[in-house]
Structures are given as structure tokens and as C-alpha cells.
Amino acid sequence: MALYGSRKVARVAIEMALTESREEEKTLKQRFAMEGIKTAAVDYGGDFIASVNKMIERAVVAAKREGVIKEVHADEGAIAGAAHEAITQIMTKSIGFNVGGKIGIARQGDHISVAVFFGVGLLHMDDVAIGLGHRAVQS
């Protein structure tokens, strides 16, 4: 198992956020596991402003459920912080609109990345946005 740096782990989180189905998620998850990278993904949709807390919570819950992190304060805080950073990056485009898409999470060693890939808009007039956050924690 080769250890990768933050760029590889960030790329994996983005790939997980870009998956279009649960089957594709599962396939990528298995492939990345063979490389020693733990992953998770979770769908999300709703009014942006009312949803920020829920998006962060879902990222933390998905990461714990899939074994990406342990149920310890530092790991949970790293996911929450990286998710908040990713969400902040799409904020100016999203305020006042609905968002829908996926949150992708990846970890190897002490590198954790969270990517959000959302359609932003109203009715059928969607724009797209992607945000990425990274944290380092002791493994």
C-alpha cells in the first residue's frame, strides 16, 4: 500500500462527489480501498442557508458509518472543518437558492478531504459548484 499526499486524497474525494449512482460509489470505494484510501459519499439537497448544518452533520455521520474516521473528537472535528471549508467555497453562488448533489470524503493516513459537488439553482435553471476542504489529523 503506497501512501499518498493531500493532492491524491483530495482527487479521490472529488471523484466520490462526482459519482452518479450508488453502484458507481461502491465500485470506486472498493478500488480506492485496495490503494489504502478510505472513502464515503452522501447525497444532499435543500435550501442552502437552512442546510449548512445538515450538510456538515451528514458528512460526519457518513465518515463514521463508513469507517473513514473513528468516533473521536479530533477526527469528527477534521471532517466538520473540511466540510465547512468546502461549503464556504460555494457559498456566494448558493445563498438564496436550493442545492442538490453529493458530498465525497476520502482519507489516507493523516490526510482527510471533503468535496461537495452541487447543482445550484431554481427549477431547471441550475448552475454547478464544487468546493474542497482538507485537514490533517494524526492517524
Say what percent of the chain tops pLDDT 70: 99
For residue 2, the model assigns a pLDDT of 63
Q: What contacts 90, CB < 8 A, 6 or more positions away?
A: 99, 116, 118, 120, 129, 130, 131
C-alpha grid cell, residue 48: 442552502
- Report pLDDT digits (tens) over 43-99: 999 999 999 999 999 999 999 999 999 999 999 999 999 999 999 999 999 998 999
Q: Contact 46/120 with Cβ under 8 angstroms?
A: no
pTM of the full structure = 0.93
Q: Which domains does the chain have, with CATH numbers?
A: 6-136 (3.40.1510.10)
Sheet holding 98-108, edge to edge: 38-47, 98-108, 111-122, 125-136
C-alpha grid cell, residue 20: 452518479
Please state, in angstroms and rounded to a whole number, the distance separating the CA atoms of residues 134 and 10: 7
- CA distance to 9, 42, 72, 139, per residue, from 116 (Å): 14, 10, 23, 24
